[in-house]
Structure 1
Amino acid sequence: MQEFLLSYKHEMIATAITFGVLLILKFITDKTIRKIGRISDIVEARTLLITKYASILLTLLGFGVISFIWGVNFRDVGLVFSSVFAVIGVALFASWSILSNITAGVILFFSFPFKIGDRIKILDKDIESEEPFLIEDIRAFHVSLRKSNGELLVYPNNLMMQKAITLIYTYEETPDGSEET
């Protein structure tokens, strides 16, 4: 055991430093995302979802760095990953809209000018309604929009980024422009 510790001392120190840096980055990332969510008045569930995405990305980055530290033969690992990614690539190509909706959901978190409770009108020729929609919920894949008659429209996030949207009034205002209490 002593021989193992002496021969891999540098790798173990580098691994410990990597874990420390990753924990600090995760802490800073979580705080930043929560602060952006609080400043932008974004629902806590959306903030937690984006925090989870960032955590997964940092974990994958950590695995890559630790593999590099321990000198993993990338040719062997590359063969395994290329096989796995070929299968995943086919699956993602078959359902590319899911990936684009998740990406759009992350982008909408940071730059979406509308919030839950706002009334909007989507300028889309496929939507026959002239009536504004109430934003009920914003999720990873879609936005839930409700008409005043109770009809629910589940609209994909990638289309929210592609179509023109008009803000009728915010959740803080009523249709006549007065402040809501």
Structure 2
Amino acid sequence: MENTQLKIIETAAVVIGFVLLFIMTAKLVDKTVSNSLLKKARGKIIKKAINIINLTVCIIIILIIWGVDQSELAVFVGSTITILGIAMFAQWSILSNITSGIIIFFNHPVKLEDTISIMDKDYEIVGRVSDIGLFFIILKTIEGEQITIPSNVFIQKMIKKKING
């Protein structure tokens, strides 16, 4: 009985830790959204992605606490990841865009309404950033055209930002 009580306490601690992490993540993302003048919908997407990762880790820890054999758990997780990897192999660019979108969200100097030039060897694109999404960055040119750039391409290009001074 004492062993079961310890497992219940450990499980409660993991769940409380998950809830605290959930709250801290939400506050961090909300703060980043408000400081960066980003759309709230984008913050919701980022929160969902981070919470899915946190929930997965929480479930794995709880399974270990309750005595699921670690080698069996490792085989199950490895098999699941392998199957998902094979199933999504053709969609690797989507995963790359999601990862790039998260990087741009947290750590890129370009913000909404900035006027930028994307330096390319063939031609230069100049426009105002009208939206920063998880998959795409949307620019509006002086001519009123809308240019959609995948996040993974955007993060790889050299960007010149007009500084208002």
Q: For this structure pair, what is the TM-score category when the shorter chain's length is used for normalisation?
A: 0.7 to 0.9
1:69 aligns with 2:74: no
Structure 1 unmatched ranges of 5 or more = none
Q: Structure 1 CA distance, aligned partners of 2:76 and 2:32?
A: 38
Q: Which amino acid aligns with 1:67?
A: L
Aligned to 1:167: 161
1:32 aligns with 2:28: yes
Q: Which amino acid aligns with 1:166?
A: K
Q: Note if contact 1:132-1:168 (Cα within 8 Å) is conserved in structure 2.
A: no
Q: Which has the larger radius of gyration?
A: 1
Aligned to 1:17: 13
**Counterparts in 2 of 1:69-108, with a 5 A limit?**
69-108=65-104
Q: Structure 2 CA distance, aligned partners of 1:51 and 1:39?
A: 16
Q: CA deviation at 1:40?
A: 3.0
Q: C-alpha deviations, 1:21-53, integer Å up to 9, x for none?
A: 111111112112222322333332222222222
Aligned to 1:116: 112
Aligned to 1:135: 129
TM-score normalised according to structure 1 size = 0.79
Q: CA deviation at 1:151?
A: 2.5
Q: Structure 2 CA distance, aligned partners of 1:166 and 1:151?
A: 19
1:144 aligns with 2:132: no
Q: CA deviation at 1:77?
A: 3.0
Q: C-alpha deviations, 1:41-87, integer Å up to 9, x for none?
A: 33322222222222112111101110111011233333333332222
Structure 2 unmatched ranges of 5 or more = none
Q: Structure 2 CA distance, aligned partners of 1:48 and 1:117?
A: 21
Q: Note if contact 2:38-2:132 (Cα within 8 Å) is conserved in structure 1.
A: no
Q: Structure 1 CA distance, aligned partners of 2:36 and 2:145?
A: 28
Q: Note if contact 2:116-2:160 (Cα within 8 Å) is conserved in structure 1.
A: yes
Q: CA deviation at 1:15?
A: 1.0
Q: Note if contact 2:120-2:157 (Cα within 8 Å) is conserved in structure 1.
A: yes
